[in-house]
Chain A
C-alpha cells in the first residue's frame, strides 16, 4: 500500500515532535544539585569550590587539551543539554566549538542571553593584548576582544570566583549564602597563596621569558616577568623558519632566557629553539587537571610556579 507523501511527511514531522514530549528530555529541570557545565577545567575548580555539594560540575574541555581546538563531540552537547548553567571563559576562546555544541544541546537554560549563561570574562577589570588598529587574520588567529587566557592568573581567578558566587546565588537563591561564603573562603585561600607563588618565582624576574603561545601572558603579567616574544609569532599559525631564527638570535643576544610552553604545544619546535638559544625550558600543564596532581587549581599553580622556579634555577636545561 502506498502512503501518500503528504500524509507521511506530516506524520513523520509529528513523530519527531513527540519524541521529546514523551520523554524526560534534556531540558527538564529537576530537584537536587545545580547542574553546571563549564568549558575549562580551571573554571570547573572554581565552580566546585564555590558550589560544594550544591552543584554538580561537568567539565567540557579536559585540562590537557588546547581549549582553542576542542573537538565538538556530540556527547558534549548531551552534557550541555542536561545543564542548568554554563560557565564559559569568553573573549571568543571557545568560539570554534561552543556554538555548535549549544546548537545541538537545544537547552533553553543555556542559550545566549539565558540567566544560566555565565561569561567569566565579565569579572575582569582589564583584558590584556586587545589589538589596536586594523584587525584582520593577517595577524593570525587572534582574539579581537583580547587575550582570553586569564585563568592562569590567580588574581583574576579571585574575581572570577567572586562572580561565580554571585551568579550561583542568583540561579539558586536558597543556597545563595552558602555560595557567597564558599566563594569568600576560596578567594581567601587564593589570596593567601599569592605571595608564596610570587616569591617562588622571584629568580625568574631577573631573566627573560620567551613564550611559545600567548597562553601565559596573564601569568607573566602577574609575576612581573619580562616577555621578549613568542615562538608562534602569529597565534595559531606555525612559526616560519625565519621567525624561529629571529627568536633564537634574540634569545642569544639577551641571554638568560627561559622558554615557556604548554604541554599541548608542538614541543619539537619549542625544544629546538630552546636548544639553539641555550635557554632553559619550562613545559607547563596548560590548565588544572592537565597532569596528575594538578586537579585542583591551587595544586595546578603550585606545579606551574615550581616548574618555573626550576627552569629559572637551571639555565639551558628543561
Chain B
C-alpha cells in the first residue's frame, strides 16, 4: 500500500520531531505542569538514508547512469502503555516496478519516488507463556530477506527471486501476527499471521485476507556459530499475474543461514551464509516457477565486509498457444553479485558492488556497477540476530 504523502510533509515532520527533541532540554523539570509541553515521553527517533550511484553497461536508452537517493527511512519507537510497544517507520524510496517480460525496471530508470508507511505496529508487552502478538502494518515474516529494511540488505537490491515472487520493496501488510516460542531443546519460533492482502503480488480486484506462517529453528553448532533453518508459506487472494483466471496465490519457502562471529576479538572475522528457496504455486504456469539465492558475507578486516551472491528466478515471461489454450511460459533470470563494504562504525557504510543480471536465451543483460552509502542518525534500535 502506497500512501502518497508529499515529501514536504515528511521533511516537516522530521524537523518538528527533531526540533521538539532539541527543545526538550530547555524547560525546567516542572515547567510542563504549566506549559503542558514535555518531551520526556517522546519516542526514540532515528533516520537512515541510503544513496545510490549506478552505471550500467546496458542502459538501452534508459537513464540508468545516475546518482541519487535510494531511500530515506524515519523510525519512531516508544512504549505506548504497560501493554504495548509501538514502532512507526516512514520510508521515502524509489518505487521499483517489475515487468513480466523479464525486464527489470526500477526508479533508476524512471526516478519515481513514493512515500510509504512501511511499519505502523504495536507489539504486546509481557504476554504469558512465551506468546507474542503484533497488530498493525508490518513486514510479512516470509523467509530471511523479506523482513529486512533496505539498509540491512547484503547487496544493493533484493535478490531477483525475492523481487520476482514477493515484491520489489519489502512486503508489508496490515493485519495481526501471533508468535510463540516452541518448547524444544533448541530455539524454535512459530509465527502465524492474517493480513489484508494489499501488496501488488495479490490480486487487486478480488479482495480477501492473506495468511501465512513461518517456523524457524536455530541451533548453536559451536559456541560462536549458529545454524538457522526456516520454512515459510504465504497464501493470498488472486494471483501474481493480472490476466490469469481468478485463483489463489501460494508461495512457499525454505531458508538456511549459517552465522559465525569470532568471539575472541572485537570486530573480528565473521561469516554469514544465507540461502533461500522460493517456490510459487505452479498451478497457472507452464513449468515450475521457482527462485533461489545464496549470499556469502565475510568480515575480512575490522571494518571491511566482502559479499558474494548468486540467484535465479524462473518466472512467467509471456504466453504461448498450446492446443488452442493460452498458457504462460517461463523465463529464467540469473543474477551474480559481489561487493565490498567499508563500515567505519555501526552508523555509516560505503559499499561498492558489481552485479550481472541476464536471461537464459534472451538478449536482455544488465551489468551494473553500484556505489551505495548510508548513514543512521538518532536512536536506532538494535537489529535482531
A5-B248, A137-B345 in contact; A25/B181 too (CB < 8 A)?
yes
- CB-CB under 8 A from A107, the residues of chain B are 130
A69 to B228 alpha-carbon distance, docked (Å): 20
Q: What is the chain B residue whose CB lies nearest that of A95?
A: B382
- CB-CB under 8 A from A73, the residues of chain B are 218, 220, 226, 385
A17 to B79 alpha-carbon distance, docked (Å): 23
**Pick from A71, A81, A95, A141: contact of B130, CB under 8 Å:** A81
Question: B208 near A266 (CB under 8 angstroms)?
Answer: no
Q: Distance (Å) between the CB of A67 and the closest chain B CB?
A: 10
A97 to B385 alpha-carbon distance, docked (Å): 9
A237-B344, A238-B303 in contact; A16/B192 too (CB < 8 A)?
yes
Question: A264 near B265 (CB under 8 angstroms)?
Answer: yes
Stretch at the interface among B63-71, B104-112, B182-190: B182-190
Q: What is the chain B residue whose CB lies nearest that of A67?
A: B266
Is B261 in contact with chain A by the CB < 8 A criterion?
A: yes
Question: A74 near B183 (CB under 8 angstroms)?
Answer: no
Q: What is the chain A residue whose CB lies nearest that of B228?
A: A74
Q: List CB contacts (< 8 Å) of B146-195 with chain A.
A: 176-183, 186-187, 189-195
Question: B263 near A65 (CB under 8 angstroms)?
Answer: yes
Is B213 in contact with chain A by the CB < 8 A criterion?
A: yes
B207-227 vs A: 1/0 string, CB under 8 Å? 011111100001110011010
Stretch at the interface among A7-15, A194-202, A223-231: A7-15
Question: A5 near B211 (CB under 8 angstroms)?
Answer: yes
Question: B181 near A81 (CB under 8 angstroms)?
Answer: yes
Question: B302 near A238 (CB under 8 angstroms)?
Answer: yes
Question: A5 near B208 (CB under 8 angstroms)?
Answer: yes
- CB-CB under 8 A from B208, the residues of chain A are 4-6
Q: Distance (Å) between the CB of B192 and the closest chain A CB?
A: 4
A5-B211, A62-B263 in contact; A13/B194 too (CB < 8 A)?
yes
Q: List CB contacts (< 8 Å) of A12-69 with chain B.
A: 12-13, 15-17, 19-21, 23-28, 62, 64-66, 68-69
- CB-CB under 8 A from B302, the residues of chain A are 238, 266
- CB-CB under 8 A from A173, the residues of chain B are none
Is B125 in contact with chain A by the CB < 8 A criterion?
A: yes
A27 to B131 alpha-carbon distance, docked (Å): 9
A17-B180, A264-B264 in contact; A74/B226 too (CB < 8 A)?
yes
A8-B211, A16-B213 in contact; A114/B126 too (CB < 8 A)?
yes
Question: B213 near A5 (CB under 8 angstroms)?
Answer: no
Question: A264 near B181 (CB under 8 angstroms)?
Answer: no
Is B236 in contact with chain A by the CB < 8 A criterion?
A: yes
Stretch at the interface among A98-106, A183-191, A292-300: A98-106
A12-B194, A66-B266 in contact; A97/B129 too (CB < 8 A)?
no
- CB-CB under 8 A from B193, the residues of chain A are 9, 12-13
* B: interface residue count bin: 35 or more
- CB-CB under 8 A from B79, the residues of chain A are 112
Q: What is the chain B residue whose CB lies nearest that of A113?
A: B82
Q: List CB contacts (< 8 Å) of A115-147 with chain B.
A: 137, 140-141
A13 to B132 alpha-carbon distance, docked (Å): 11
Is B361 in contact with chain A by the CB < 8 A criterion?
A: no
Q: What is the chain A residue whose CB lies nearest that of B249?
A: A5
Q: Distance (Å) between the CB of B373 and the closest chain A CB?
A: 16
Is A72 in contact with chain B by the CB < 8 A criterion?
A: yes
Q: What is the chain A residue whose CB lies nearest that of B385?
A: A72
* A: interface residue count bin: 35 or more
Question: A6 near B181 (CB under 8 angstroms)?
Answer: no
**Pick from A64, A72, A106, A264: contact of B382, CB under 8 Å:** A72
Q: What is the chain A residue whose CB lies nearest that of B384?
A: A100
Question: A16 near B261 (CB under 8 angstroms)?
Answer: no
Is B346 in contact with chain A by the CB < 8 A criterion?
A: yes
Q: Distance (Å) between the CB of A203 and the closest chain B CB?
A: 29
Question: A106 near B181 (CB under 8 angstroms)?
Answer: yes
Max chain B CB contacts within 10 Å: which of A65, A78, A106, A266? A106
- CB-CB under 8 A from B266, the residues of chain A are 66, 68-69, 264-266
Question: B209 near A6 (CB under 8 angstroms)?
Answer: yes
Question: A100 near B129 (CB under 8 angstroms)?
Answer: no
Is A255 in contact with chain B by the CB < 8 A criterion?
A: no
10 closest A-B pairs by CB: A9-B194, A9-B211, A74-B187, A108-B126, A16-B178, A16-B192, A25-B129, A12-B192, A20-B129, A66-B266
Q: Could you jot down 23 A-B contacts, CB within 8 Å?
A: A8-B235, A9-B210, A12-B213, A13-B192, A13-B193, A16-B180, A20-B129, A25-B130, A26-B129, A26-B181, A27-B128, A71-B385, A72-B385, A73-B220, A73-B226, A78-B181, A78-B186, A78-B187, A95-B382, A103-B384, A108-B127, A141-B345, A266-B302
Given A72-B384, A105-B181, list of 14 further CB < 8 A pairs? A12-B192, A16-B179, A24-B183, A26-B129, A26-B183, A62-B263, A69-B267, A73-B226, A75-B187, A81-B181, A103-B384, A113-B82, A114-B126, A264-B268
Which residues from chain A sit less than 8 Å from chain B, CB to CB? Answer: 2, 4-6, 8-10, 12-13, 15-17, 19-21, 23-28, 62, 64-66, 68-69, 71-75, 77-78, 81, 95-97, 99-100, 103-108, 111-114, 137, 140-141, 236-238, 263-266
Which residues from chain B sit less than 8 Å from chain A, CB to CB? Answer: 79, 82, 123, 125-132, 176-183, 186-187, 189-195, 197, 208-213, 218-220, 223-224, 226, 228, 235-237, 248, 259, 261, 263-268, 302-303, 344-347, 377, 381-385
